[in-house]
Amino acid sequence: MAEGAEQAQERQRLEGGEREDEDEDEDEDEESHDDDHDEEEEDDDDDEDDEDDEDDEDDDDDEEGGGGRRRNVRPSDGNGLSLKLMRFLQRSEFDEELYEFLYHGLSDITVAPIGEEQPLQLFSLYQAFTDMFDERFRRFMSQNGYSSLEAVYRKLEEENSNKPRTRRFLSSLHAGMQYESFVELALEFQEAPDE
């Protein structure tokens, strides 16, 4: 810590002289230490930065007058898209809705093993699922500059290729696009122990 204080004082001397107020020197020493600390943790906090960016974006959405500070959001950049989508779904209680939908929808249907013929009712359930899914994501896609669910899924798949915690989430997203994936999700749901 003493080394950081010395560096700050030397930097200030080079910039035009020392300050006369000791309190200001102490504040600068603390800031210098904080800057050094921030640089060390910068790489470790990428996910937290995405969360902060998301919170800033939410604040901007709430300020319809446009008087608040604005962030530069690049919709074509996949950085943080999965976090944004997960937060969107959490706020809209999608996880609970999905569970209730599958619980009630599959209560009278027995899903056959993959590769075997499935009951006709399962396809009707799939159609209802895609309608629910499309409605839920229409707003999210337009807010983030995407025109299709497939484009969102591709970007999420690239972004999370090595993150197992998002596997279930991506499976449900993928199920919204393909019947085979929905069958896998339904079978997994029926085989899973009650939570």
Tell me the pLDDT tens digit for each residue of 62-110: 333 444 433 333 344 445 887 888 788 778 787 788 889 999 999 999 9
- Nearest-10 crossing angle of helices 94-105, 179-191: 80
Model's pTM, two decimal places?
0.47
Enumerate domains of the chain plus CATH numbers. Answer: 81-191 (1.20.1520)
- Distance CA(96)–CA(5), nearest Å, equals 53
The identity of residue 190, as a single letter, is: Q
Helix runs in 42-178, H state only: 46-62, 81-91, 94-105, 120-143, 149-159, 167-175
- pLDDT tens column, 118-147: 999 999 999 999 888 788 878 788 888 888
